[in-house]
Chain A
């Protein structure tokens, strides 16, 4: 194997000069980025870096704004001063960069669970790793929430000595850890213990405003983070992904290089073979379905969807009736043994449903035959989401409508209900891990070896942690310190799942499209669950009357009226009238929102039209590429004919231009072509313009000018070749040689 062919050698002097000139014009970080991205060997990168840094220093510091300084030093004209200037200006740059690198490596060591995630990714692949990454991300949300709540709401309360007093006849029993009531009811855990006063001290600290703004700012920040990550994930993983190239993708892109376990590698090879065979036979199978089979298929779909929806709605209704029953039992005269333990009934039933009903859904899924595996996963996910949303919806309806009428201090009651849900959900998660993974492993290896070792069900587990986080998000308003429980829960869950995974599960059989699933998960996290949680909290703040005798908003008509009162106070100070103006004319006026909605709709419509236009452009460009291929083969034939007819072609000239041009061509075309195609809207005009120019250019020896971009060069050459091909087929001397055809 010839070594020089292995790398794209920057051996052409003009090419290297052009590269250096390009690099010198960029900023330092850009330079480093470009050097790292050069597809050349290490020696050449170091060489380029050295040449560029010495040239770059001069070009930056001699030209431009440092010219005067340099001149003044040069006028003093001592060699030492010159060197001193060099050192003084160059060294600080180096040390700054070194400092930056040190910071970066220090930051890396602080990252949580880095080693464990590498291990899991190496053994099980990136789809399983997605679960743990999501878990870590949600944990960070909770840590932030805890810090913010504790810092802005709880600490002022504790410091000002207005913390609630626990009445002496309530003592701590162990049951509080599960039910959240009793002793905890009088602590800072719940909404009811926070005061509504303004603390006078160094600064006037209004507890009402603090509570309101802390919760709302946290929710808004969460929403923004979710939107941004969803949008970037969607753009990277979904918009550009293509489903048509299934086999090509499976063969060339799907092999996971990070798997290091021999067994896992062999298993992956098996799975790939099965997948390739399936995809080859899928097409044949689809064509063979008759009408009656299709009708039967649709019948099965309809039946299973009806059953699933019925199950979800049924669960919701049963939870509602259970809540009412519990209420009646509480009110009835005969006293049950342990009224507090009875409150655990509803969370228990909810978690039990969440654990058992998805098994039915998986069963339905086995009977249905979807055309692709992805549709199967989506259907299953949708049904599970429907189930959880309906249960949560019913519970929230009950809390919003029934509870405020029955209790005087109702927010802590809701907080306690959420606390119980969170705790019991945690217990069931642990049990689920036990049954789902450990028992399946035992059954699969010892009792029924045909089933085999279970796989880690990523979709189900992800949905569980999203649901758990939703409970926390709803509960933050009613119980500001609920994130503490959530942090502990996720922390323990991480280690539990990791141990269960390594001991009980095998790597997934199908190399699924993990990146797209990640987008779906973030989308799920945001749209039904986060938006739902925020709606519940917003509804509570907007419409419901806070309880009269407890909590920071006691005595007000609604929580939101705290803003109105604050604005009234601000109005009295004359210097802040603009705040009042903004509040009354922007936030409270309906015209503003109407106008904003109208503008956003217009912008969406414009972008939509832009997308349609670009889709057409892509089709045109694809045809262009096919044309280029035909050009290439035509020219190749022509060249072969010429070579046969006149063997004494100027080989030296061909070689020199070939090496430089072919390498330069491939390097820059491949880097720029597909990245730039969507931004290029005025293609026909530019083509025409440069094709006229290119005719003149091709007659001269081929010089590569960096000013003309590679994009234009490609098209100019292409169109001029086509013209010459059509015009004068005989007397054409190709400057470009193509690799000889494969034997």
Chain B
């Protein structure tokens, strides 16, 4: 546990430890994973806060994400510019929220953002249809897709406005105890 690393200052590491759910060792390990995606772009010295952003294509090619149907949305939600290009901070933030120590409300908030394809703070029918198509490889017919989406809105919409707000979504998550273990990426 020696302080022999020269990548971050002690204050930076403290800030990372305080703001994410990772330990020091995990933060350093994640830094090396980040660097492995593009060794020529990422410097080994972060003490002077370099402004390095990795493009989405590199992030989406990580083994943990490359088969995930929602990888693009995940990258977009956690990146600063909304396009999927991530700095190291965004990278750590993403895996911190998706780790097993993040609380349910935080995960529910980000899951909502991920499923909200058109970014209007509501999960409407088109968002649900896109989600369904991503999860079933576009193999359902139009009618079946419509039926499923209607059923979902029926079941989960509490305030009867035809779409799911964050409260509806969180209410549903509260009643799904598996959510904490399914909304979880191991790294």
Of residues 81 through 117 on chain B, the ones whose CB sits less than 8 Å from some CB of chain A are 81-83, 89-90, 92-93, 96, 98, 102-103, 105-106, 109-111, 113, 115
A43 touches B89 (CB 8 A): yes
Set of chain B residues within 8 Å of A698, measured between Cβ atoms:
none
B80 touches A41 (CB 8 A): yes
CA distance A118 to B181 in the complex (A): 12
Set of chain A residues within 8 Å of B158, measured between Cβ atoms:
622, 625-626, 629
Set of chain A residues within 8 Å of B77, measured between Cβ atoms:
6
Residue of B nearest to A264 (CB): B67
Q: How large is the interface on B (under 10, 10 to 19, 20 to 34, 35 or more residues)?
A: 35 or more
A258 touches B177 (CB 8 A): no
CA distance A120 to B143 in the complex (A): 37
Set of chain B residues within 8 Å of A6, measured between Cβ atoms:
76-77, 79, 82, 113, 119
Q: Which of B18, B93, B128, B131 contacts A41 (CB 8 A)?
A: B93
CA distance A669 to B140 in the complex (A): 37
Residue of B nearest to A46 (CB): B15
Mark the stretch among B30-38, B40-48, B53-61, B161-169 that contacts chain A: B161-169
Of residues 685 through 743 on chain A, the ones whose CB sits less than 8 Å from some CB of chain B are 739, 742
CA distance A449 to B128 in the complex (A): 36
Q: Which of B19, B139, B175 contacts A35 (CB 8 A)?
A: B19
A742 touches B135 (CB 8 A): no
**Does residue A112 face the partner (Cβ distance < 8 Å to B)?**
no
Question: For the complex, would chain A's binding face be called helix, strand, loop or mixed by DSSP majority?
Answer: helix
Set of chain B residues within 8 Å of A247, measured between Cβ atoms:
148, 151-152, 155
Set of chain B residues within 8 Å of A269, measured between Cβ atoms:
69, 135-137
**Does residue A32 face the partner (Cβ distance < 8 Å to B)?**
yes
Q: Mark B14-26, 1 if CB is under 8 A from A, else 0.
A: 1101111101111
CA distance A262 to B64 in the complex (A): 11
Of residues 205 through 253 on chain A, the ones whose CB sits less than 8 Å from some CB of chain B are 236-238, 240-242, 244-249, 251-253
Residue of A nearest to B125 (CB): A742
- Asked if A248 meets B67 with Cβ closer than 8 Å, knowing A6-B76, A269-B135, the reply is no
Set of chain A residues within 8 Å of B92, measured between Cβ atoms:
42
* B96 vs chain A, min Cβ distance (A): 8
- Asked if A262 meets B67 with Cβ closer than 8 Å, knowing A245-B175, A269-B135, the reply is yes
* A635 vs chain B, min Cβ distance (A): 12
CA distance A237 to B176 in the complex (A): 8
CA distance A459 to B81 in the complex (A): 47
**Does residue A101 face the partner (Cβ distance < 8 Å to B)?**
yes
**Does residue A5 face the partner (Cβ distance < 8 Å to B)?**
yes
Number of A-B pairs whose CB atoms are under 8 Å?
Answer: 216
A626 touches B159 (CB 8 A): yes
Of residues 103 through 160 on chain A, the ones whose CB sits less than 8 Å from some CB of chain B are 104-106, 108, 118, 121-122, 126
B82 touches A2 (CB 8 A): yes
**Does residue A515 face the partner (Cβ distance < 8 Å to B)?**
yes
Set of chain A residues within 8 Å of B128, measured between Cβ atoms:
251
Set of chain B residues within 8 Å of A98, measured between Cβ atoms:
10, 14
Set of chain B residues within 8 Å of A35, measured between Cβ atoms:
18-19
B177 touches A236 (CB 8 A): yes
CA distance A260 to B65 in the complex (A): 7
**Does residue A643 face the partner (Cβ distance < 8 Å to B)?**
no
A101 touches B23 (CB 8 A): yes
B152 touches A251 (CB 8 A): yes
Question: For the complex, would chain B's binding face be called helix, strand, loop or mixed by DSSP majority?
Answer: helix
**Does residue B182 face the partner (Cβ distance < 8 Å to A)?**
yes
CA distance A256 to B113 in the complex (A): 17
- Asked if A254 meets B137 with Cβ closer than 8 Å, knowing A3-B80, A276-B148, the reply is no
* B155 vs chain A, min Cβ distance (A): 4
A513 touches B184 (CB 8 A): no
A666 touches B178 (CB 8 A): no
A260 touches B63 (CB 8 A): yes
Which among B19, B152, B156 has the highest number of chain A CB atoms within 10 Å? B19
Q: Which of A42, A248, A251, A514 contacts B93 (CB 8 A)?
A: A42
B160 touches A626 (CB 8 A): yes
**Does residue A679 face the partner (Cβ distance < 8 Å to B)?**
no
Residue of A nearest to B101 (CB): A36
Set of chain A residues within 8 Å of B171, measured between Cβ atoms:
674
**Does residue A671 face the partner (Cβ distance < 8 Å to B)?**
yes
Which among B64, B70, B119, B177 has the highest number of chain A CB atoms within 10 Å? B177
Set of chain A residues within 8 Å of B63, measured between Cβ atoms:
260
CA distance A516 to B159 in the complex (A): 28
Set of chain A residues within 8 Å of B96, measured between Cβ atoms:
36
A242 touches B67 (CB 8 A): no
A36 touches B21 (CB 8 A): yes
Q: Mark B127-155, 1 if CB is under 8 A from A, else 0.
A: 01001100111011000100110011001
A674 touches B170 (CB 8 A): yes
B1 touches A273 (CB 8 A): no
* A51 vs chain B, min Cβ distance (A): 13
B82 touches A265 (CB 8 A): no
B24 touches A101 (CB 8 A): yes
Q: Which of A43, A248, A276, A629 contacts B172 (CB 8 A)?
A: A248
Which among A98, A108, A118, A252 has the highest number of chain B CB atoms within 10 Å? A252
Residue of B nearest to A627 (CB): B159
Q: Mark A623-638, 1 if CB is under 8 A from B, else 0.
A: 0011011101100000
A1 touches B82 (CB 8 A): yes
Set of chain A residues within 8 Å of B135, measured between Cβ atoms:
251, 255, 269, 272
A244 touches B155 (CB 8 A): yes
CA distance A371 to B150 in the complex (A): 23
CA distance A3 to B80 in the complex (A): 7
**Does residue B9 face the partner (Cβ distance < 8 Å to A)?**
no
* A114 vs chain B, min Cβ distance (A): 11
B137 touches A240 (CB 8 A): no
**Does residue A330 face the partner (Cβ distance < 8 Å to B)?**
no
Q: Which of A251, A266, A628 contacts B131 (CB 8 A)?
A: A251
* B18 vs chain A, min Cβ distance (A): 5
**Does residue A280 face the partner (Cβ distance < 8 Å to B)?**
yes
Set of chain B residues within 8 Å of A161, measured between Cβ atoms:
none
- Asked if A122 meets B186 with Cβ closer than 8 Å, knowing A43-B89, A106-B1, the reply is yes
Set of chain B residues within 8 Å of A666, measured between Cβ atoms:
121, 166
A251 touches B132 (CB 8 A): yes
Set of chain A residues within 8 Å of B23, measured between Cβ atoms:
101, 104-105, 108
CA distance A201 to B185 in the complex (A): 58
* B161 vs chain A, min Cβ distance (A): 5
Set of chain B residues within 8 Å of A102, measured between Cβ atoms:
1, 24
B174 touches A240 (CB 8 A): yes
Of residues 10 through 56 on chain A, the ones whose CB sits less than 8 Å from some CB of chain B are 32, 35-37, 39, 41-43, 45-46, 49
Of residues 66 through 119 on chain A, the ones whose CB sits less than 8 Å from some CB of chain B are 94, 97-98, 101-102, 104-106, 108, 118
Lowest 3 CB-CB distances: which A-B pairs, in order? Answer: A629-B159, A42-B89, A105-B23
Residues of B whose CB lies within 8 Å of any CB of A are 1, 10, 14-15, 17-21, 23-26, 63-64, 67-70, 76-77, 79-83, 89-90, 92-93, 96, 98, 102-103, 105-106, 109-111, 113, 115, 119-122, 124, 128, 131-132, 135-137, 139-140, 144, 147-148, 151-152, 155-156, 158-161, 163, 166-167, 169-179, 181-186
Task: Kindly list 10 other residue pairs between chains A and B, CB separation below 8 angstroms, not including A255-B70, A273-B137.
Answer: A36-B96, A41-B93, A126-B178, A126-B181, A247-B151, A252-B115, A273-B139, A277-B144, A669-B167, A739-B122
Name 24 A/B residue pairs within 8 A (Cβ), A-sorted: A1-B119, A3-B80, A5-B82, A35-B18, A36-B19, A41-B93, A42-B90, A43-B80, A101-B17, A105-B25, A237-B177, A247-B148, A248-B152, A251-B132, A251-B148, A256-B182, A257-B182, A257-B185, A258-B184, A273-B137, A280-B144, A626-B158, A632-B161, A666-B121
